[in-house]
Structure 1
Amino acid sequence: MSTVELIPGGTLIVPTAEAGRQLAIKMARLSIKVTQPDDTVRTRLRPIYAEDPSMLLQIAQIVATEFAVIAAANHYWRDAQ
């Protein structure tokens, strides 16, 4: 079993809010990959959640939660402006 790096680059510190949002999406995707490591199963399930509005909203909530953590780690980019 290969190890998945759950925090790409090993840090939550990013230069901009845009980079933070991208990192949040990446981290959410990695969480799904770790939760369901079988690529065949993930591929089979993708069309199901892609057509289910409630599942899409849940995915958006996961990304928003990840982004909130990243934003807090970056002090909301106060020093980057």
Structure 2
Amino acid sequence: MSDTWLPSLRTATPQEGYDLAVKLSRVAVKMTQPDADARTRLREVYENDASALIAVSAVVATHFQTVAKANKYWADT
């Protein structure tokens, strides 16, 4: 992964901001567990676990708060 994969938190719209929040979450998982086979095996465990899926939503929401603040909540749109 390139050292500059995230040049900015700025996005044009809230939708782009949410997409970026999801990407931040996914990249964090890849950086934490770089082995794709291990991630695939683990997915079988959490994909049917409601608590794990809710936790994912919480992580994305936290990232979205950060992105929204960086974009001044898209006040100029």
Q: Does TM, normalized by the shorter one, top 0.5?
A: yes
> How many pairs are equivalent?
77
For the pair 1:48 / 2:45, whether they are aligned, the reply is yes
Q: Distance in 1 between matches of 2:50 and 2:29?
A: 18
Percentage identity across paired residues of the two chains: 40
Unaligned runs of 5+ in 2: none
For the pair 1:58 / 2:16, whether they are aligned, the reply is no
The residue aligned with 1:11 is 8
The residue aligned with 2:71 is 74
Q: Distance in 2 between matches of 1:4 and 1:37?
A: 15
Q: Distance in 2 between matches of 1:26 and 1:16?
A: 15
The residue aligned with 1:25 is 22
Structure scoring higher RCO (CA < 8 A, sep ≥ 6) equals 2
